[in-house]
Amino acid sequence: MPSLRRTLLPHITCICFILFPFFAMASETGKAEAALPLNDLRTFTEIFSRIKQAYVEPVEDRTLLENAIHGMLDGLDPHSLYLEKEAFSDLQINTQGQFGGLGIEVEMDGGFVRVITPIDDTPALRAGILPRDLIIKIDDKPIKGLKLQDAVNLMRGEPGTQITLTIVRDGQSKPLVITLVRDVIKVASVKSRTLEKGYGYIRITQFQVSTGTDLLKAIRELQHDNSPLNGIVLDLRNNPGGVLSAAVEVSDAFLTGGLIVYTKGRMENSEIRYNAVADDPSKGVPLVVLINGGSASASEIVAGALQDHQRAVILGTTSFGKGSVQTILPLNNERALKLTTARYFTPNGRSIQAEGITPHLVINNAKVTALTESSIGYKEADLKGHLENDNGNKETASAGNQKSLPETDFQLNEALNLLKGINIISRYTRQQIPATQ
């Protein structure tokens, strides 16, 4: 498993994080830990001194100390990081939904840069970058041997400038060379539309501070445009996560009560329980949630809560499996520590760490080719002198050259068909229930 994880310009908040006062944590840690290991500290200072004296080139004290800090965190887990001034600023800006770069979530994997997921409406997605792609070269510079931050810096640049990535992709015999144009990325957290009359679609690209409010607005618009609203598809595919509170708000929008998620850690104030309120803005409408291997962290909190409460059918493929919570601990000099402080659990007590959420219906995405109906034979409309239809339809809608939903998004089409089936069965069941005398 990689030791660092970053996102391009700035770092996408792909993990659930919360803010805790640094001094509170330091106090608790001081009570729990024994005295500092003096012999190990002597070893550290001796190594520090030897490097200063004997390394082939002069090295500043600050550089050595910051390298030591990075080394401490590298030995923990992939999500604990020391955020220098620029990275900390990027993290804060990103939660508001605007940043510059390529629009990909990345991590280190075996000395190379692994793509977790491309973000909607970004240069990476438009260029065809896929989850699990392994970046081995940036322009003419090999990745092997670089730190993740160094690789990220190479991929940064002014909007409008070109960059060439050489990637290795599963199933491809040769590396792919892909040229992208850097851009200012503005991520709309929530997007919605009507799939067919009565059936709505809501896409959450990542969990930002405003996601909960944006979701409620999308639900109201779908309810206004569809009377009645018979079902919603909530698309969390390739959603890398984000702000924990936003995941709670999204889950709460579809629940009428009960536990949404809880966290457990060594610190007393890291054990928190989040519960839904009685109000249900969705009005109990049938719900299908789409997930895949790019759905991580906050996405898994939502999918797990809705699955445990039997509020939604989860469809797609197993999610990423990130079940830890990171605390942002501000330090001096505008720096911060992003430290894994807890694990989160679904309402039924499931930890999805390194396992993910398994859908009710495992359906891989696929390319579907529409078959042209045979032209052999006739229909009533082909017969000379046939009677006209008297339903008042003067014109017949034509799809023209537009591709159908099964051709463009097989999983979404299956979700829509499932909602239609639920609606049909529900209506049939209601008709069979005798009236109370």
- Catalytic site residue from 235, 295, 322, 338: 322
Read off the tokens for 39.
Answer: 């012999």
Angle at 186 between CA 184 and CA 187, to 5 degrees: 140
SS3 track for the chain: CCCCEEECCCCCCCCEEEECCHHHHHHHHHHHCCCCCHHHHHHHHHHHHHHHHHCCCCCCHHHHHHHHHHHHHHCCCCCCEEECHHHHHHHHHHCCCEEEECCEEEEEECCEEEEEEECCCCHHHHCCCCCCCEEEEECCEECCCCCHHHHHHHHCCCCCCEEEEEEECCCCCCCEEEEEECEEEECCCEEEEEEECCEEEEEECCECCCHHHHHHHHHHHHHHHCCCCCEEEEECCCCCCECHHHHHHHHHCCCCCEEEEEEEECCHHHCCEEEECCCCCCCCCCEEEEECCCCCCHHHHHHHHHHHCCCCEEEECCCCCCCEEEEEEECCCCCEEEEEEEEEECCCCCCCCCCCCCCCEECCCCCCCCCCCCCCCCCHHHCCCCCCCCCCCCCCCCCCCCCCHHHHCHHHHHHHHHHHHHHHHHHHHHHHCCCCC
How distant is the alpha carbon of residue 113 from its chain centre?
18
- Catalytic site residue from 74, 235, 308, 409: 308
Residues 141, 151: Cα–Cα separation, whole Å: 10
Angle at 95 between CA 82 and CA 23, to 5 degrees: 45
- Catalytic site residue from 3, 192, 251, 297: 297
Asked if 141 is an active-site residue, the reply is: no
| CB contact at 8 A, 131 and 115 | yes
Asked if 338 is an active-site residue, the reply is: no
Angle at 199 between CA 226 and CA 411, to 5 degrees: 160
Asked if 322 is an active-site residue, the reply is: yes
Q: Point out the residues that are catalytic.
A: 297, 308, 322
